[in-house]
């Protein structure tokens, strides 16, 4: 009962006369917030990517697993950049596996609306409108350039660990070794 009383009491009531008028300007952007953050001692925010990439990514609406809705046929404009979590995973992996040749990419793909699973293009009728259960998306993938033709699914929760399994694969390692023995590529 004593504590109830205690918490309800305001600790200090500012003297009204000495206070400047409250800064209530509704149209103003919250400039004071960013100003505060800039002044704080910990000004170093982790920024592994050039800011241009981040700005470009904001043009697109990424799903939580990094997909971007698209149309068919594939738009002539370049695909959206990979989501930031994938770029970060690739950066980590390049650091751990400096001799391996792989990259993030966005793959234009047919997707089943119900299962969200990619639909193989060869199951679709060429030249005909895709069936109503098919939609089109760019899907985040990792391409291994040492193992041509292979694309690997990347998910935010385990993008590094998932592709690391491939990088540790014996066949992959052999290909990397072969390429390195063949001499430096251009």
* Interface residues toward Zn ion, by CB under 5 A: 144, 146-147, 172
Of the two residues 112 and 174, which places its CB atom closer to Zn ion in the complex? 174
Of the two residues 89 and 147, which places its CB atom closer to Zn ion in the complex? 147
Instruction: Name residues whose C-beta falls within 8 Å of residue 118's C-beta, 6 or more positions apart in sequence.
Output: 109, 110, 111, 112, 139
- Smallest gap from residue 165 Cβ to Zn ion (A): 11
- Smallest gap from residue 143 Cβ to Zn ion (A): 9
Angstrom distance (rounded) from CA 163 to CA 90? 9
Angstrom distance (rounded) from CA 15 to CA 9? 16
Of the two residues 138 and 163, which places its CB atom closer to Zn ion in the complex? 163
Of the two residues 37 and 99, which places its CB atom closer to Zn ion in the complex? 99
Q: Where are the alpha helices (DSSP H) in the chain?
A: 2-8, 31-39, 51-57, 84-96, 159-167, 170-181
- Smallest gap from residue 144 Cβ to Zn ion (A): 3
Angstrom distance (rounded) from CA 144 to CA 100? 8
Of the two residues 84 and 164, which places its CB atom closer to Zn ion in the complex? 164
- Smallest gap from residue 166 Cβ to Zn ion (A): 6
Residue with tokens 């929760």: 157
Assign 132 to helix, strand or coil.
coil
- Smallest gap from residue 140 Cβ to Zn ion (A): 17
């Amino acid at each position: 009962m004593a504590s109830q009383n205690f918490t309800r009491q305001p600790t200090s009531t500012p003297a009204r006369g000495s206070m400047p008028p409250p800064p209530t300007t509704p149209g103003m952007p919250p400039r004071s917030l960013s100003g505060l953050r800039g002044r704080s001692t910990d000004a170093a925010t982790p920024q592994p990517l050039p800011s241009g990439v981040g700005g470009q990514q904001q043009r697109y609406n990424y799903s939580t697993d990094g997909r971007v809705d698209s149309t068919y046929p594939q738009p002539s404009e370049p695909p959206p950049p990979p989501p930031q979590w994938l770029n970060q995973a690739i950066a980590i992996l390049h650091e751990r596996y400096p001799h391996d040749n792989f990259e993030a990419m966005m793959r234009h793909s047919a997707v089943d609306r119900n299962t969200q699973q990619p639909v193989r293009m060869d199951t679709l009728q060429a030249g005909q409108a895709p069936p109503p259960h098919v939609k089109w998306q760019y899907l985040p993938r990792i391409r291994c350039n040492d193992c041509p033709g292979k694309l690997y699914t990347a998910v935010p929760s385990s993008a590094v660990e998932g592709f690391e399994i491939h990088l540790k694969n014996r066949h992959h390692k052999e290909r990397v070794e072969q390429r390195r023995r063949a001499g430096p590529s251009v």
